[in-house]
Structure 1
């Protein structure tokens, strides 16, 4: 299982896609722009266990803002959305007002359509992400990908019913390991965030869920088999929510 992967951006995307379809029960391919969604769906689509969703990555909003209307139209025909969200880091501060407009519009559209499952980027912007979600009741389900906020923000998000997708690279830092210990175990699913995520200089692949389970087992002080089972149960529940929204 992989609930957040940029499968189309691996250097050998077709080959990696073929392997993921064979090895994984489910892979969620999040796209970075409406145009990318259209192209990726055409080239890599057609597999029952591969979900490709429309998105507009906050890091690209400054150059792809004009695609917002296309994204809102694509959401009408999808049960899930991603990657979307906010990035409050210094590098992207200049586009933050536009990011807010895009994310507000996306969450509002999801609420109008009866709810969607969203894979959300929230780097240094957790409070604003949660505020926007809270302001649109009925938006659906939020899956906070590679969460890097504070322990207090994690508790707030958890209390709001947010899900969390986590991969091996999240354990590269001490803060990442500390947050992993506090994740709500019944709403955690595996991700890779490949090809961007790396562990020991190696690109994380879409079939890394067992590696994630091993790291979570250490964080939660539980047997690996128990964590694997928990992730499988969570994953099937989330897949059911995605299908219901579609």
Structure 2
């Protein structure tokens, strides 16, 4: 399974889509903008195994802010939302106020329509992400994608009920490994973040869950088949929360 993948952005997206259908029980195809969601839904489409969701990536918030109203309309009919969130890194600080407005609008809308699972970007912005989530307790279920906050922020996210999607590329850094080791083992699910994520220069593919299991096994001190079984169990539990059991 893969709980965060930009499948539509692979150079050979149609072929990767077909392969994901064969290899994966479930792939969450997150989009970067409302217009991209419309195009991807039209060109690739959803299936029983691939979920395509509307989002507005914080890295392009400044350029796509005018699409917010469209996103809010899409949320009403979508079963999940992603990728959304905040990015407080220096490169995107100039758009942070816009990001805050968009993210809070999204979370408010999710709460208003009964709650949605959300794949959330939180680079250098965990405190603000959690603050907004706490303002709207009926927003749904937060899945923190490639979490990179501090250990204290990880504890706060765990206490808030967040889930965590992790992929092979996260284990390339010492900080990523340290955070993955501290995550609640019953709320960790696999992701690829392909095609952006790379390991040793190679693009991570949507069927990389076995690689994630092997890397987590080392951190958890268990066999890789045990880690794989835990990820599978967690994935099925999250799919139940997403209404896709």
SS in 2 for 1:4: strand
Per the TM alignment, residue 46 of structure 1 is displaced from its structure 2 partner at its CA by: 3.9
Alignment of 1:34-45 (within 5 A): 34-45=34-45
Aligned partners of 2:152, 2:197: CA distance in 1, in Å?
Answer: 25
Aligned partners of 2:163, 2:41: CA distance in 1, in Å?
Answer: 25
The answer to whether the Cα contact below 8 Å between 2:107 and 2:139 also exists between their aligned partners in 1 is yes
Aligned partners of 2:136, 2:142: CA distance in 1, in Å?
Answer: 12
Counterpart residue number, 1:115: 115
Deviation per residue, 1:192-241 (Å, 9 max, x gap): 00000000000000000000000000011111111111111110111111
Per the TM alignment, residue 94 of structure 1 is displaced from its structure 2 partner at its CA by: 0.6
What is the root-mean-square deviation of aligned Cα atoms in Å?
1.0
Deviation per residue, 1:161-204 (Å, 9 max, x gap): 10000000000100011001101011110000000000000000
Aligned partners of 1:46, 1:26: CA distance in 2, in Å?
Answer: 11
4+ runs deviating over 4 angstroms: none
Counterpart residue number, 2:159: 159
Aligned partners of 2:105, 2:223: CA distance in 1, in Å?
Answer: 43
Q: Which runs of 5+ in 1 are unaligned?
A: none
Counterpart residue number, 1:125: 125
Counterpart residue number, 2:207: 207
Aligned partners of 1:44, 1:233: CA distance in 2, in Å?
Answer: 28
The answer to whether the Cα contact below 8 Å between 2:46 and 2:52 also exists between their aligned partners in 1 is no
For these two proteins, the number of residue pairs brought into alignment is 245
Counterpart residue number, 1:183: 183
TM-score (norm 1): 0.98
Aligned partners of 1:39, 1:235: CA distance in 2, in Å?
Answer: 28
Aligned partners of 1:123, 1:200: CA distance in 2, in Å?
Answer: 22
Aligned partners of 1:46, 1:112: CA distance in 2, in Å?
Answer: 25
Counterpart residue number, 1:30: 30
Alignment of 1:6-85 (within 5 A): 6-85=6-85
Aligned partners of 1:143, 1:119: CA distance in 2, in Å?
Answer: 5
Counterpart residue number, 1:91: 91
Aligned partners of 2:46, 2:65: CA distance in 1, in Å?
Answer: 28
SS in 2 for 1:95: helix
SS in 2 for 1:243: coil
SS in 2 for 1:164: strand
Q: 216-225 vs 202-211, which deviates more?
A: 216-225
